[in-house]
Structure 1
């Protein structure tokens, strides 16, 4: 019989963010369980389908849930579903993890979000798959190609941007970055590409020689 993780839990409601945090008092895990509340009825797509004679009582109430936080939670759900369908575990996922590991090693990378990294790797992979044979694909080639895309200014304001595949309207997946953070990421990618171009991947990834 499995023992309970803790005898008691601390439950903290957060009405502003539409969440409830649950933290076992005796658990060794430092992270709480977070439950978010949302509904597809808060999405603009749903509300646009309501007939013109819809009464105020039939429209989702904004009294109990923060509409903005509901929209953010719905976006997270769409992104998780997209990632599960699209990211290829055998080649794309390792590159995503490498890019995210760079956040711990270099300050310029610290604002790269997991979702932006996933979209970047997947779209670069799609382009590579059209240009080269599958037998020529490799982790290093995909990784360096991702560095090239970022180094060219993909994340910069006023740059080409990268369309968010989870949004119906054109939304740049890097639009969450502040201008300075986008510049830091671009500069970090340029420095990383320089090291990779000279065959210094181990140095870049801080691997033991």
Structure 2
């Protein structure tokens, strides 16, 4: 489900009309009374790769955009949800499987009218049987990489699936570091990769 783009004409904090102003060499609507600045529209999505017996989990979309196409399972991150919680929830909702994140291996950055970020996790299967959530998923299954290449599969999905065959580690959560914000989590590569460039 896509989130609508909102045009702000009035300040959501004090209700006064917004005017255009320049911040960091860009024009943004802002409120001259309370200093609210509308920095733009953003969405955050997650996708998950689950391998079992040399086959990867795919879902067939039951809705547009992309109805009938196959993709890795995933969805949108809720406002107060960690990305690792979002992918576990989305995977369980769409497929019925219980999983846990192993690492974050890909990030798609798509600026535009709305700045859209999409992060892909490798997940470990824990439990459960395949049960498609029929409102969003018409079919579900595990496929070999050869079978994936014959399906009407989203290009991004195929790219990250192929990458995940050889790269099982990526960014992982780091614990024991003091961060601002109760739900803050730092993701970084598990071992230092230092090369003089």
* TM-score, normalising length: structure 1: 0.24
The structure that is helix-richer by fraction is 1
Structure showing greater relative contact order (alpha-carbon pairs closer than 8 Å, 6 or more residues apart): 2
* TM-score, normalising length: structure 2: 0.25
The structure that is strand-richer by fraction is 2
